[in-house]
Amino acid sequence: MARQTAKTKVLPIIFDTDILIWYFRGNKRAKMLLQSVELPRRWISSLTLMELMQGSRSKDELIEIEAFVAENIHRIIHPKTSISEKAIHLVSQFSLSHGLLAIDALIASSALLTKASLATGNRRHFSFIPGLALLPFQP
């Protein structure tokens, strides 16, 4: 393994919603992936957090999600103007040809503009986006 120097910048990884869903379902690969990334590099989009919360079936699950994020995610990326503008461009460019959805466009533009990699099990949702660094996940 290469030694990190003062000039070496380790880039963050934005985790897509599907990986965290697999994690909560007890998938060992999702757990291993998350644990293999140092805490300062673990990021999510606020959209991912909202999707997780929206999918919770009880107050206990909601509390579990909030506690998990507080303990295991270093940064939550919120869509700001530049992220939204990039997402609009991506939807314009790829919604008809590839079926790109708005939330996926916002998550992808967050990764592009923060120079983060995007870890996802839904590679087909993102593979056509130029410049997007993907970390494919297999559950």
Q: Which tokens in the block code for residue 45? A: 């989009």
Tokens found for residue 75:
């940064």
Asked, for residue 29, whether it belongs to a domain, the answer is: yes
Please report whether residue 106 resides in a domain. no
In a domain, residue 90? The reply is no
d(CA 54, CA 103): 14
pLDDT of residue 1: 40
What is the value of pTM for the model shown?
0.90
Phi, psi of 6 (to 5 degrees): -60, -30
85 is a domain residue: no
Does 18 fall in a domain?
Answer: yes
Is residue 73 one of the residues assigned to a domain?
A: yes
What pLDDT was estimated at residue 118? 98
Task: Give me the pLDDT at residue 10, please.
Answer: 75
- Residue span of the structural domain in which 35 resides: 13-78+115-136
- In this prediction, residue 9 carries a pLDDT of 65
* H/E stretch holding 11: none
H helices of the chain, where? 17-24, 28-36, 46-54, 59-72, 81-98, 102-114
* Backbone angle region of 99, left / alpha / beta, with phi > 0 → left and psi within -120 to 50 → alpha: left
Residue 104 lies in a domain: no
CATH code of residue 132:
3.40.50.1010
Residues 6+ apart with CB under 8 A from 119: 13, 14, 15, 16, 19, 33, 134, 135, 137
The verdict on residue 108 lying in a domain is no
Q: Are 139 and 121 in contact (CB under 8 A)?
A: yes
Instruction: Tokens for 34, please give them.
Output: 């998350």
pLDDT tens-place values along the chain, 139 residues long: 444 444 556 799 999 999 999 999 999 999 999 999 999 999 999 999 999 999 999 999 999 999 999 999 999 999 999 999 999 999 999 999 999 999 999 999 999 999 999 999 999 999 999 999 999 999 9
Q: Which amino acid is at 137?
A: F
Domain count, the chain: 1
